[in-house]
Structure 1
Amino acid sequence: MVANLHLIVPNIVSRILLVEDDQEIAVMVVEMLSDNGFQAIAAGSATDMDALLRKQSFDLIVLDAMLPGEDGFSICRRLRATSVTPIIMLTALSDDIDRIVGIEIGADDYITKPFNSRELLARIKGLLRRSSYSAEPRSQQSPMQFAGWLIDPALRQLLNPDGVHVSMTTAEFDVLLAFCRNPGRIMTREQLLGLTHAGTAGPVERSIDVHVSRVRQKIEPSVHEPTMIKTVRLGGYMFTPRVKDC
């Protein structure tokens, strides 16, 4: 069991919650994040994590897959049901299927142990940057409409034709936003990856496919016969609706 590690740094912008039962890794990651201007807290189990989440909110969660009691995959699924907080999963499992499962249940990124601390830091900064509207120029933040839906890049919100907010992960929102900014254009998986950095820890084709599948589940009238996000054989995907600025 890892004791909660709480290093407070003045003028902190982002708070990171690390859920990791390995004491050595937890200390290393918390110190690395603290040294780079973040407020970092570590919890060694789902129980410890839940206690912290009841007390405060976090800007990003780094979640180990292999934990005592409730594992990271179950935790990720549970968190994603009620929260859009960006999640990076850590695992010692190198099998591609485990990476894809993590993405399917709502993780935004994935990194395999042993990992380079600088790579983890870059992933965290990148994901926080993508989840913040301030990273884009104002000209790129105008709300857009398609097929009765409204996507707002500044507020990072998606509203369905009835005006109801639809919850999306950071990666899912980025994928849909890339489509909305390139309607009627064939987008290769590599292009989508370059525009969104979605699933950078896994194979390009499979990680993008998973995110596209999750977006389809949220916007398509029929997931089995998608009309808005068309698959282009040997090409990638095409977003078919007419998109207009609001």
Structure 2
Amino acid sequence: MVKKIFVVDDDDKIRALLQAYLEKNNFQVVSAADGESFLAEFNRIGDEISLIILDIMLPGMDGFSVCRKIRNISDVPIIMLTASAEETDLVVSLELGADDYIAKPFSPRTLLARIKAVQRRFDTHGQPPRRYRYYRFKQFTVDRIERLVTTDQGEYISLSGGDFQLLQLFLENPGKILSRDEISEQTRGRESQPLERYLDVQISRLRQRLQDDGKSPQLIKTVRGSGYILATDVAMADQPDELRALQE
């Protein structure tokens, strides 16, 4: 099945370039020049979209605002584009739920590699044959299929697609130290780069969502020089009653 990508950029040349290049690489492409037009179209065909390429500097509603609105209704993967080299753009993009970030100017080949890496994380094919549906740790219950995280009080924890993938990686490897390269490879399809802060920001945001004190975390702990570890027991089951039985 051909995957459909939505390109949102006010630069006509960039939209045309990306459409030609991505279609050459077997993607379907739709595009918009501003956030309002994109949202109107996404409301109509959102279920068909497999990934969004979203420029930050848009006329009218900027990319940050668009990203926030999308995350209220969908966990479709989002790659943000920016002409700014400011780290603030990276941090804000991740906080709003973007799954990756690339600075202009960029080569279409580099963007294609990022697209494939992000989509591999969301592709259910080729996964290990034994993966549980339900996970339970501390006061949280995770439904992998419905992609839901809830507390004992029935509160829903909002996670972006990338954050959910990161949490799932930890839940499948409780008590195991995961290196930065291993986490980056599993969640982004490539090794972490020197001085790259993407993973630090994502770990910090996930801790915040799980109410894990960033100054003295008890769930996701930093192992200096080695990586990160989920330092808690995790119960796993395929049915809710099995999960409850494991807790008794």
The verdict on a shared fold, with TM-score over 0.5 as the criterion, is yes
What is the rounded CA distance, in whole Å, between the counterparts of 1:74 and 1:202 in structure 2?
28
Partner of 2:55: 64
| TM-score, reference length from structure 2 | 0.82
The answer to whether the Cα contact below 8 Å between 2:221 and 2:229 also exists between their aligned partners in 1 is yes
| Cα distance in structure 2, aligned partners of 1:107 and 1:135 | 24
CA distance in 2, matches of 1:198, 1:75: 26
2:188 aligns with one of 184, 197, 200: 197
The gaps in structure 1 that reach 5 residues or longer are 1-10
Q: Deviations over 1:22-45 (max 9, x none)?
A: 111101111222232322111000
Measured in 2, the distance between the counterparts of 1:77 and 1:149 equals 24
1:50 maps onto 2:39 in alignment: yes
Deviations 1:38-58 (A, max 9, x none): 221110001111220221112
Residue 8 of structure 1 aligns with which residue?
none
Q: Is the 8 A contact 1:64 1:72 kept in 2?
A: yes
* Superposition deviation, residue 79 in structure 1: 2.3
CA contact (8 A) 2:77 2:118 kept: yes
The equivalent of 2:171 in structure 1 is 180
1:91 to partner: Cα distance: 1.3
Partner amino acid for 1:32? Y
Q: Percent identity?
A: 37
1:237 is aligned to 228
Matched, 1:39 2:28: yes
Structure 2 residue matching 1:182: 3-state secondary structure: coil
Pairs aligned (count): 235
2:89 matched to 1:93? Answer: no
Structure 2, unaligned runs of 5 or more:
238-248
Structure 1 range deviating more: 138-147 or 79-88: 138-147
CA apart distance, 1:147 = 2.0
Give secondary structure in 2 for the equivalent of 1:167. Answer: coil
**Equivalent AA in structure 1 for residue 81 of structure 2:** L
Call closer, same or farther: CA 1:159–1:178 in 2, change over 3 Å: same
C-alpha deviation, 1:98, in angstroms: 2.3
Match of 1:20 in 2: 9
Other-structure match for 1:104? 95
Q: Determine helix, strand or coil for the equivalent of 1:140.
A: coil
**Structure 2 equivalent of residue 168 of structure 1:** 159
Q: Which residue of 2 aligns with 1:73?
A: 64
CA distance 1:137–1:201, change in 2 (3 Å): closer
Q: Which amino acid aligns with 1:181?
A: E
RMSD: 2.6
Map of 1:151-166 to 2, 5 A cutoff? 151-162=142-153, 165-166=156-157
Distance in 2 separating the partners of 1:199 and 1:168: 22
2:208 aligned partner: 217
Partner residue in 2 for 1:207: 198
- Cα separation, 2, equivalents of 1:103 and 1:112: 14
Any conservation in 2 of the 1:109–1:198 contact (CA below 8 Å)? no
| In the alignment, structure 1 residue 119 sits paired with structure 2 residue 141 | no
Q: Secondary structure at the match of 1:168?
A: coil
